[in-house]
Structure 1
Amino acid sequence: MERIGALVIGAGPAGLMAAEALGAAGIPAVIAEAKPSPARKFLMAGKSGLNLTKAEPFDSFLSAYAEAAHRLRPMLAAFGPDDVCAWAEGLGQPVFTGSTGRVFPRAMKASPLLRAWLRRLDGYGATLRPGWRWTGWDGGAVRFDTPEGARAVRPGVTILALGGASWARLGSDGRWTGALSGAGVPLAPFAPANAGLAVEWSAPMARQFGQPVKGVALRAGDGPWHRGEFVISAKGLEGGGIYALSRPLREGAPLMADLLPDWPLDKVVARLARPRGKASLTNHLRKALGLDPARLALLMEFGRPLPEGADLAALVKALPIAHSGPRPLDEAISTAGGVRWDAVDAGLMLTARPGTFLAGEMLDWEAPTGGYLITACLATGRWAGQAAARRLQAA
């Protein structure tokens, strides 16, 4: 039976930050990772530009986490957007803030940041064990399937940072739920967050697959109108404008689109009242309203048979978008659900298993894309790592 001081299970952002917090306290961590290499989802997120955090007032930032905000407040106050920026720059990766407040590394990739981070952890004496899949507990021992066969270790403290249940091929497969529920840990069911919508398109819509939809406002149920871009795909609708409404949409709220959010209704009515002549209705809508092919296709797809006059104008301003709910859980960028907050203490330690801490997306919180996800993973990882270090040092 191998005995170690600190064990971190999961080498995503939360787990690596927990290992960093332990290392900063003088405690070298053993990091067990089921995949052959660390931080696969982190690297995938960085392929289109790694959005680390969001530059905005703290209360606005915190509000993105909805009812979990009061739970996350101390962790984000201790390691919030400014701290994330300073941390990245301390790893030699300068950052910049885009026009919407999103913060990115100047390199616009995750790989340089990850390489520098792993070098820092190596300097702290951390050891990465790839291919080590956690299979549960045997009393005080932690069991793994490894490339060399079954292994067990007995750590002084353990931090679980195993992710949610989306993008299983990258490591977040949610298989840990069986071991935790078996240990009496209360769980909230997983649900897709930041997920696309499934739509059964008519054949003519195939011409629009891959086209971005810009200049549109969306509303879920009675909620506020929200500006954001999205993409028409073969499977439905994808993109930030849709992801921001994931929660009310998965709870059954109807989706509406304002195709001309900068125009008041009376302007749309006046433009539609212009003489049409011999122009087809499609050309009339295109010329009178300036609708591009993507928005025009959406109007035709969800509005036919089109009414006339003021009724058509009202449809342009509030077009019902028929859909079949969110795409499957594994296609979501992140997940809601996981370990309930009443299962952990203020230091994120499981009350059912003293000495075992949680971090990252395993906990029951969700947030939109835009830097909120990574920031909370880093903040909870740091918080759990510091709490674990205090426990180990006090033993």
Structure 2
Amino acid sequence: METERIKGALVIGGGPAGLMAAEALLAAGHAVVLAEAKPSLGRKLLMAGKSGLNLTKAEGFDSFCAAYGAAADSLRPMLAALPPEAVSAWAEDLGQPLFTGSTGRVFPVAMKASPLLRGWLGRLRASGLEIRTRWRWTGWDEGMWFDTPRGAVRLRPEVTVLAMGGASWARLGSDGLWAGLLAARGIAVTPFSPANAGLCVPWSEHMAAHFGAPLKAVAFHAGGLTSRGEAVISARGLEGGGLYPLSPALRTGAALQVDLCPDLAEDVLADRLARPRGKQSLASHLRRVLRLSPAVRALLAEVARPLPGDPRALARLLKALPVPHAGLRPMDEAISTAGGVAFAALDAGLMLRAAPGVFCAGEMLDWEAPTGGYLLTGCLATGLWAGRAAAARLAAAPFP
């Protein structure tokens, strides 16, 4: 058993939130030790980069904040301190040219995370960051205990920032095991649940020919939430960015409806469907008058056969197609999780009220957001906020 005192700050977790907290503390002139359970840093960030690394989204601030749903008010000051344009400037300062897509999503031109992470870690190391990998946090008792390559070690820092992620993609480091350690100390932790997850739909064998096909130009509705975007028909159901914003409703069992023609009013649809079709089949008629894709027609036939012959009844169905489902995919398959440390357990600087000097950031906090740049910006913003608050405590200065 070994005990080591740290003059300055300890950051636990080497993802975006932890690295940003470390950067804020270093910028304030404080020494920082960063402990990470895995052999390397930023593993989930690198995985996200395989699909392009959506850093943030260029849109009005109020609209941007609204994407965080129930946590929007709690996160608003943190997002204001690191809004989308500041995230873009930060990435460009790391030598990463950016571009903005047609939907406002912001990406590095390189379309991957590795160049940004290399530049970031290089800058942090040059600023004095000490990194210790394969250090797994196991709890606290007059300090922070770790299982390390050299055995059990207790670190006694002046302040600590916890940034250990949520509970999805455990193999990348976010296993959520820390929740039990905090709950044991009486800290309120909202149970984890999947967010931005695929939807389980028990298809018949007839859908196999369409696995991998996208549903485009449709709108999804569940529990009062609406999203327009693309989803893919998979062997296990539906998945994709168009569906993910409905996760809060779908995981509570809300019914899913799909508007197959969101740009056409029901009356217009009915008029088109009423056109003479002669000897054409109904499927051919739908393709001709509405230009429905094979994937959309297959979905319609899968969940609503036999289709109504009356044009108005069919139009109503096309505008609100019910798709039976069996809930979201398991949590470890989700892109992110809802749940975590309740904001009521934290002060304005994200410090635990029950543990003075210990701050929380990133996906450890009880918030969620859809994909589209919101997740990464939320992690960076809360990391920066917690790091600045921890630095203020070290300097005995007020915050915020």
Bin for the TM-score computed over the shorter chain? over 0.9
CA distance in 2, matches of 1:141, 1:271: 71
Q: 1:312 aligns with which of 302, 308, 314?
A: 314
Q: State TM-score, norm by structure 2.
A: 0.95
Instruction: Please give the per-residue CA displacement for 1:345-392, whole angstroms capped at 9, x wherever unaligned.
Output: 111111111111100011111111111111111111011111111212
**Partner SS, residue 366 of structure 1:** coil
Partner of 1:172: 174
Q: 2:91 aligns with which of 71, 88, 103?
A: 88
CA distance in 1, matches of 2:197, 2:71: 19
CA distance in 1, matches of 2:55, 2:223: 30
1:297 alignment partner AA: A
How far did 1:189 drift?
Answer: 1.2
Partner of 1:110: 113
CA distance in 2, matches of 1:264, 1:141: 63
Q: How does 1:169-248 map to 2 (within 5 A)?
A: 169-223=171-225, 225-248=226-249
**Partner SS, residue 338 of structure 1:** strand
How far did 1:195 drift?
Answer: 1.2
Alignment check: 8 A CA contact 1:28 1:124 kept? no
CA distance in 2, matches of 1:222, 1:183: 37
Partner of 1:258: 259
**Partner SS, residue 253 of structure 1:** coil
- Contiguous gaps of at least 5 residues in structure 1: none
Partner of 2:326: 324
How far did 1:114 drift?
Answer: 0.2
How far did 1:274 drift?
Answer: 3.1
- Contiguous gaps of at least 5 residues in structure 2: none
Q: State TM-score, norm by structure 1.
A: 0.97
How far did 1:47 drift?
Answer: 0.7
**Partner SS, residue 296 of structure 2:** helix
CA distance in 1, matches of 2:163, 2:227: 33
Q: State which drifts further: 268-277 or 186-195.
A: 268-277
How far did 1:152 drift?
Answer: 1.5
CA distance in 2, matches of 1:194, 1:311: 33
CA distance in 2, matches of 1:8, 1:314: 55
Instruction: Please give the per-residue CA displacement for 1:211-254, whole angstroms capped at 9, x wherever unaligned.
Output: 1110111111344x431111111111101111011111222221
2:158 alignment partner AA: G
Runs of 4+ in 1 over 6 A off after TM superposition: none
Q: 1:69 aligns with which of 57, 62, 72?
A: 72
**Partner SS, residue 302 of structure 1:** helix
Alignment check: 8 A CA contact 2:37 2:133 kept? yes
Alignment check: 8 A CA contact 1:219 1:257 kept? yes
Partner of 1:368: 370
Q: 1:137 aligns with which of 112, 119, 140?
A: 140
Partner of 2:125: 122
How far did 1:148 drift?
Answer: 2.2
**Partner SS, residue 369 of structure 1:** coil
Alignment check: 8 A CA contact 1:35 1:131 kept? yes
Percent of aligned pairs with the same amino acid: 68
CA distance in 2, matches of 1:232, 1:347: 43
1:78 alignment partner AA: A
How far did 1:393 drift?
Answer: 2.5
Residues 1:349 and 2:351 aligned together: yes
